[in-house]
Amino acid sequence: MTAALTGTRAQLPAQWPAALSPQCLEVIDMPTPYLVTDLDTVVDRLSAFTAALPGVLPCYAMKCNPSTEILATLRDHGAGFEVASLGELRMLERLGVDPAGVLFSNPVKAPGHIAAAYAAGLWRFSFDSANELRKIAAHAPGSAVYLRLLVDDTASSFPLSRKFGAEVPEARDLLVLARQLGLRPYGITFHVGSQCGNAAAWRHALGATGAIMADLLDDGIRLDMIDLGGGFPARYRADVPSIGEIGAMVLPALAELLPYRPGLLVAEPGRHLVAEAAVMAVGVIGREVRGGRNWLFADVGAYNGMMETIQVPTGWDYPIWSSVPGHGEVATLPFTITGPSCDSSDTMFHGVELPAGIDVGDVVYIGSDGAYTLSYASAFNGFAPPTPLFVGGGAGEPDLRELTDELVRSGTSGGH
């Protein structure tokens, strides 16, 4: 295949942190693969989130990247946290996070996880069925529960409605049942799907939420919390709604579609806060031609750090750069990039334009790589996950203390 000259000089994407430019990463004297996270970018993303959604406390969905350094940075800057398991709660406890301020948002939980979390002081649990309510009543009596509502998530890259969510017509009866079981009907949450591409999805979900809240008033139930869930997108290569655009959709909806404003508004951003803060450095370990296509073999694949690239049928469009001198100005070729394992499905990218001369020993830099990389990674075939590295310390603290304190305080009138 003939190499093609790029028509104009390529530039790094705007969201690529300056501290993680290829020129900066070249000075790192350690073998690939490694994942470098700029903690200042994490703080900047948190600040932008709170500016776009004032009065909404971000409770970090730690499943997407539970690195201690990230958790500590978010803790120090006033964020709350959401967990899906007892193991995640224990990680937060080791960092000094009060379980009373943590949300347990997995709608289906192991009985032992409920009991242990309740014993630790966590008192708010998500649910989406009568069976889960009975389980919570048995293992966390008197605790507060918030209903996971089934909403339209078709605009997302990773829909979640196949697995979780109560139908709108059953929502009222479930919250009434919670009260009958001695639990505290506390709130409603929803999830518009991971990497949601439509800001209006939150407005539609809030419309359904508001109708349920109005019906519950006839039962003497006023909810204390609305949880906007996750789904807030990060920028890879394709355009996605900005957090400002989402805020401009959500804020009027809160005023227009809810019969009253609950005392606590939260959200569960994960990918949005950390994806764009990290870059993975991957070494080229082989170059071949297979079936007329150029292939690069890398020391990271889907199983040890890049699982999302094989989860979406259309692939995952990460911004990519290389260590080849003159990248962005020299002739390029399209490459298939595959991982180091013996599994042929361990192939991450197809048709990626890279310098035609790239070869063994060069480095490929994968941007926007801070979410669902390390947390998914295994040592399949004996290939270790990337080494995590961190730069920056986080300056410019968002004003979240009052909201975070309220997340803990709101349990004093009936919580555990």
Same domain for 261 and 280, yes or no, is no
The domain that contains 117 carries what CATH number?
3.20.20.10
- Higher per-residue pLDDT: 9 or 80: 80
| Average pLDDT score over residue span 219-234 | 95
Least confident of 158-172, 381-395, 396-410: 396-410
Say which of 59, 64, 196, 342 is annotated catalytic: 342
User: Is there a domain that residue 349 lies in?
Assistant: yes
Same domain for 252 and 144, yes or no, is yes
Q: What band does 311 get if pLDDT is binned at 50, 70 and 90? A: confident
> Which two structure tokens, joined as six digits, stand for 77?
């800057």
Residue 65: CB atoms within 10 Å: 28
Residues 6+ apart with CB under 8 A from 364: 281, 282, 283, 284, 296, 298, 320, 321, 322, 323, 337, 354, 358
Least confident of 190-199, 243-252, 337-346: 190-199
- Beta partners for 127? 147
User: Is there a domain that residue 341 lies in?
Assistant: yes
User: Is there a domain that residue 59 lies in?
Assistant: yes
The DSSP secondary structure of 69-111, one letter per residue, reads HHHHHHHHTT-EEEESSHHHHHHHHHTT--GGGEEE--SS--H
Whether the predicted pLDDT of 158 surpasses 80: no
Whether the predicted pLDDT of 330 surpasses 90: yes
Same domain for 49 and 198, yes or no, is yes
Percentage of residues in the chain with pLDDT exceeding 90? 80
161-216 pLDDT, tens digit per residue, is 678 889 999 999 999 999 999 999 999 999 987 788 889 999 999 999 999 999 99
Whether the predicted pLDDT of 380 surpasses 90: yes
Q: Which of 266, 249, 195 is nearest to 50 (CA)?
A: 266
- Higher per-residue pLDDT: 390 or 316: 390
Strand 347-355 relative to strand 331-338, pairing:
antiparallel
Alpha helices, H only, 218-363: 243-257, 271-274
Give CA–CA dist 402/375, Å, rounded: 30
User: Is there a domain that residue 234 lies in?
Assistant: yes
Averaged pLDDT of the chain = 91
User: Is there a domain that residue 416 lies in?
Assistant: no
Amino acid at 258: L
Q: What band does 92 get if pLDDT is binned at 50, 70 and 90? A: very high
pLDDT computed for residue 173 by the predictor: 97
Same domain for 252 and 324, yes or no, is no
User: Is there a domain that residue 415 lies in?
Assistant: no
Helix 130-139 and helix 111-120, axial crossing angle in degrees, nearest 10: 50
User: Is there a domain that residue 309 lies in?
Assistant: yes
Give CA–CA dist 33/298, Å, rounded: 9
Same domain for 268 and 368, yes or no, is no
Residues 6+ apart with CB under 8 A from 310: 302, 345, 346, 347, 348
pLDDT computed for residue 97 by the predictor: 98
pLDDT computed for residue 5 by the predictor: 36
Same domain for 402 and 342, yes or no, is no
The domain that contains 282 carries what CATH number?
2.40.37.10
Give CA–CA dist 333/355, Å, rounded: 6
Q: Is 64 a catalytic residue?
A: no
> Which two structure tokens, joined as six digits, stand for 261?
């404003």
Whether the predicted pLDDT of 3 surpasses 60: no
Same domain for 19 and 50, yes or no, is no
251-300 pLDDT, tens digit per residue, is 999 999 999 999 999 999 999 999 999 999 999 999 999 999 999 999 99
Q: What is the residue range of 288's domain?
A: 4-37+276-391
Same domain for 301 and 264, yes or no, is no
Same domain for 105 and 197, yes or no, is yes
Alpha helices, H only, 321-373: none
DSSP-derived letter for residue 200 is H
User: Is there a domain that residue 414 lies in?
Assistant: no
Give the chain's domain count. Answer: 2
Same domain for 327 and 303, yes or no, is yes
Same domain for 31 and 89, yes or no, is no
The model's pTM is 0.91
Whether the predicted pLDDT of 396 surpasses 50: no
Same domain for 120 and 269, yes or no, is yes
Q: What band does 371 get if pLDDT is binned at 50, 70 and 90? A: very high
